[in-house]
Structure 1
Amino acid sequence: MSIITDIRTAFSRDNSLHKLLLLNVLVFVFLVLAKAIMSLSGVGAYFLNVARQFQLPSDLPSLLRHPWTLLTYAFSHLEFWHILFNLLNLYYFGALVREYLGDRRLVSLYVLGALAGAVLFLLSFNLLPTLQPMVGLPLLGASASVTAIIMAAATLLPDYTFMLFLLGPVRIKYIAAVVILLSVLAINQGNPGGGIAHIGGALIGFLFVKQLQAGRDLGRPVQAVGDFFVRLVTGRPNLRVTHRSAAATAAAPAASKAKASATSLPGEDEINLILDKISHSGYESLSKEEKQKLFRASQK
């Protein structure tokens, strides 16, 4: 019971990155246990029916029977090294995206990466003559979503540095380039579906940040759908009426001014000081407020 309580507590917190990580782990544990139990029970052949409820089929008739797999495939893994690699990347790059863009945009990016990878995967297998003989192969794993997050982080902060084992400091724009190269190699080395889905995720990650810098949030439809289902499950109304005291009403203009000041674009001198700090001490030395100011300046 304590495990269930811990899981419920984790999902009640506001950290969306932890929720994404935990959801991937829970689905992995469920699939692994289901496969083991069914194999020991002598009905292992029927596990394929369980897997079909999670993995994305490449043939359209199967997709019409399992439309939810457009998303469930991005939370499902069957191999330990597959989920480990994906979750490590999600943890490090997701933390960076969350710090800059917030929880809601991180989740939106994860979902959009999954959908973009699924769409490109389905189009390729059903339209490209060289792949049509392979129609029937399913897609499984969070790689498309994770690649979208990696590319978004590299587009947002190309010179941010990660310390890699044996390699030392490496800018994430080069990490993203290697990820894309590996995705292209996968197409030629027996995993065309995975490689194509990764490229779809990378494209949406790049576009997501570029459109955000132009003042357009591609994640708003995802957030709207998510809010709808949250209201449906929790029963919360769209609008909440509150009564404020006279003191709170009097403080409202001051709060509005403070909010406007916090969200205003930083001046050129302020940005120059931040850039000087980066050149002397590195990007990691910036405070959260300085990072947010630098991002707002990039939207000019």
Structure 2
Amino acid sequence: MASGGLRYQYARLNIAEKMIAINVIIFIAIGLLTRLVSPAIEGWFVLPANLTNFLSQPWSLVSYGFLHSGILHLLWNMYVLYISGRILLNLFDNKRFINVYFLGIMLGGMFFLLTDALFLQSNSVLLGASAGVMAVLIFVCTYIPNQEIRVIFFNVKLWQVGLFVVLIDLLQISSGGSNFGGRIAHLGGALLGYLYARQLMNGRDIGEGFSKFLDGLANMFKSKEKKAPLKTVYKNKASASRIKVKQDKDSHQHQIDTILDKISKSGYESLSKAEKDFLFKAGKKD
């Protein structure tokens, strides 16, 4: 009953809330596994800055977005995702949210990988949903820039929020602050969100190809329709048709035999008009 209730509650969530739930579950699961099994488990899913290491675990370009360095890191990302995700889903469907979120994670990861080639940050790794969250936030800030939201005690416009968070990252990078690679990834996600919104305003969905890829991937795991039952139904129908024809033929012959027996006993004139007509038609068919 409890698991059924949880499944029901999960099904009621929108896609942004489901993504938050998945992030929380993975955070707990990875925390338990690293403590009870091996600390090395997390290393299989973080995104390494070293290109050679990345090529040995290419899935990390997506999987890093489901890991977090601590509870505060997780809570902040999920809070921003909840707020910006609700705004996006008031405008568009689930597919658009998925496109922005995951493309933001991937572009943010690509920006991070560039740090190895440009700044030789080979020993660093990237984890966290921040790039995807930034993509969703900057998307809504770009698409409806003059929409106002409540921040503590006063209202601000979305474009002001977007500008503020991007400037924070730029200032952190320019000042040589910590988490250099993470800030770079934030900017990658922000760029994706901005470009996606701008192109969409011009009538072009840059995530269309990604949607088709995901649909194709989903179809690979769907069971194919079996044709055998259709053939069986066809055969059953054919068999039923043959049985009906045989039954009709037997009934027809039985009527003829009955009439002929009557003639042999009482003569032709004893037949009714219907019997005479039936016998006449049967004789023509034969």
Tell me if TM exceeds 0.5.
yes
Quickly say closer, same or farther: Cα 1:11–1:146, change in 2 above 3 A: same
Instruction: Supply the distance in 2 between the matched residues of 1:63 and 1:6 (Cα, whole angstroms).
Output: 40
Q: 2:100 aligns with which of 109, 114, 138?
A: 109
Show CA shifts across 1:39-70 (max 9, x none): xxxxxxx41x2111221110111111111010
Runs (4 or more) in structure 1 with deviation over 4 Å come to 10-14
Instruction: Supply the distance in 1 between the matched residues of 2:53 and 2:213 (Cα, whole angstroms).
Output: 25
Identify which range, 184-193 or 202-211, moves more after superposition: 184-193
Show CA shifts across 1:116-143 (max 9, x none): 10111111221x1xx21x2120000000
Report the CA distance between 1:33 and its aligned residue. Answer: 1.7
Gaps of 5+ in 2: 226-286
Instruction: Supply the distance in 2 between the matched residues of 1:217 and 1:232 (Cα, whole angstroms).
Output: 24
Instruction: Supply the distance in 1 between the matched residues of 2:112 and 2:122 (Cα, whole angstroms).
Output: 11
Q: 2:43 aligns with which of 41, 47, 52?
A: 52
Instruction: Supply the distance in 2 between the matched residues of 1:24 and 1:36 (Cα, whole angstroms).
Output: 18
Quickly say closer, same or farther: Cα 1:6–1:222, change in 2 above 3 A: farther
1:294 corresponds in structure 2 to: none
1:21 corresponds in structure 2 to: 20
1:205 corresponds in structure 2 to: 193
Q: How do 1:177-192 and structure 2 match up within 5 A? A: 177-187=163-173, 188-192=176-180
Gaps of 5+ in 1: 39-45, 238-300
Q: Is the 8 A contact 1:151 1:176 kept in 2?
A: yes
1:170 corresponds in structure 2 to: 156
Aligned length: 223
Q: Percent identity at matched positions? A: 31
Q: 2:147 aligns with which of 157, 160, 165?
A: 160
1:235 corresponds in structure 2 to: 223
Instruction: Supply the distance in 1 between the matched residues of 2:158 and 2:78 (Cα, whole angstroms).
Output: 17
Instruction: Supply the distance in 1 between the matched residues of 2:224 and 2:48 (Cα, whole angstroms).
Output: 35
Instruction: Supply the distance in 2 between the matched residues of 1:16 and 1:114 (Cα, whole angstroms).
Output: 16
The one-letter code sitting in structure 1 at the alignment partner of 2:218 is V
Instruction: Supply the distance in 1 between the matched residues of 2:47 and 2:133 (Cα, whole angstroms).
Output: 17
Q: How do 1:1-300 and structure 2 match up within 5 A? A: 2=2, 4-9=3-8, 12=11, 15-38=14-37, 46-47=38-39, 49-126=40-117, 128=118, 131-132=119-120, 134-165=121-152, 167-187=153-173, 188-235=176-223
The one-letter code sitting in structure 1 at the alignment partner of 2:42 is A
Compute the RMSD of aligned alpha carbons: 1.8
Q: Taking structure 1 as the reference length, what is the TM-score of the superposition?
A: 0.70
Instruction: Supply the distance in 1 between the matched residues of 2:147 and 2:11 (Cα, whole angstroms).
Output: 31
The one-letter code sitting in structure 2 at the alignment partner of 1:142 is A
SS in 2 for 1:162: strand
Instruction: Supply the distance in 2 between the matched residues of 1:176 and 1:16 (Cα, whole angstroms).
Output: 22
